Chains A and B, each alone.
Chain A
Amino acid sequence: MNAPLFDVGQRVRIHDRTPPVHHRVPNYVKGQVGTVERVCGMHGEPEKFIRGDGNPRQRIYRIKIQQENLWQEYQGSARDCLEVEIFEHWLEAAK
């Protein structure tokens, strides 16, 4: 099993793309920058299950994004965050 590409606390950007197949990335987080909250387990790659086995499996990270970055009219605290689990092949390092 390969080592995680990203560490806890690291800033990452979620890819902004839309493959025409099932993928586990909701539209509203695409292109967003967040921090790695924890490194979760591994699972088959959703995009590769269509008549396949999803291999190689991909690592999943829990990504923390500030709510005020997600919603233009957000009225809550600047500390409010959303956590969403994203597969490694959807992430890249961000500043």
Chain B
Amino acid sequence: MNEPWGPHDLGGQKGGPVDLAEHDTAYWEWQIDAMIRLSLKKGLISDFAELRDGVEQLTQDDYDRCSYYERWAKSLAHTLVSRGVVSDEQLTKQIESVRRRQEAGA
């Protein structure tokens, strides 16, 4: 057996108790899911394997800190930028714009 490949490769390691609590899916989580499915349908990404690779390349810190859909969001952003679908500048600008809108509304 090798070293585990990335922070996701947890099978066979001792873990704590499993949290069995039910939880709702937040609206933004549905939005991330929808963006992934649309990106696949439009051929902007090739397969879930490509996004899985993005999730598995996260640092241990990011992986532990992020929730399930936060990891998908990071991976999708990374993939779309590295494929040139959106530029890093466009993404940063849009994030700032959304943040300003949210702060104004709060």
* A interface list, Cβ under 8 A from B: 16-18, 20-24, 26-28, 30-31, 44, 46, 49-54, 70-71
Contact = CB atoms under 8 A, between A and B. Distances in A.
A79 B47 CA distance: 37
A49 B1 contact: no
A54 B11 CA distance: 25
A46 B52 CA distance: 9
- 10 closest residue pairs by CB, A with B: A28-B12, A22-B53, A49-B49, A46-B49, A26-B11, A49-B47, A18-B2, A27-B4, A22-B52, A49-B46
A64 B9 CA distance: 20
Contact of A26 (B3, B9, B46, B52): B9
Interface residues of B, number: 16
Nearest to A25: B5
Interface of B: 1-5, 9, 11-12, 46-47, 49-50, 52-53, 56, 83
A52 B83 CA distance: 11
B52 to A, nearest CB: 5
Contacts of B50: 22, 49-51
Question: A17, A22, A49, A52 — which one has the most chain B CB atoms within 10 A of its CB?
Answer: A22
5 contacts: A16-B2, A18-B3, A46-B47, A49-B50, A49-B53
Contact of B49 (A17, A18, A22, A30): A22
B9 A51 contact: no
A4 to B, nearest CB: 22
A44 B1 contact: no
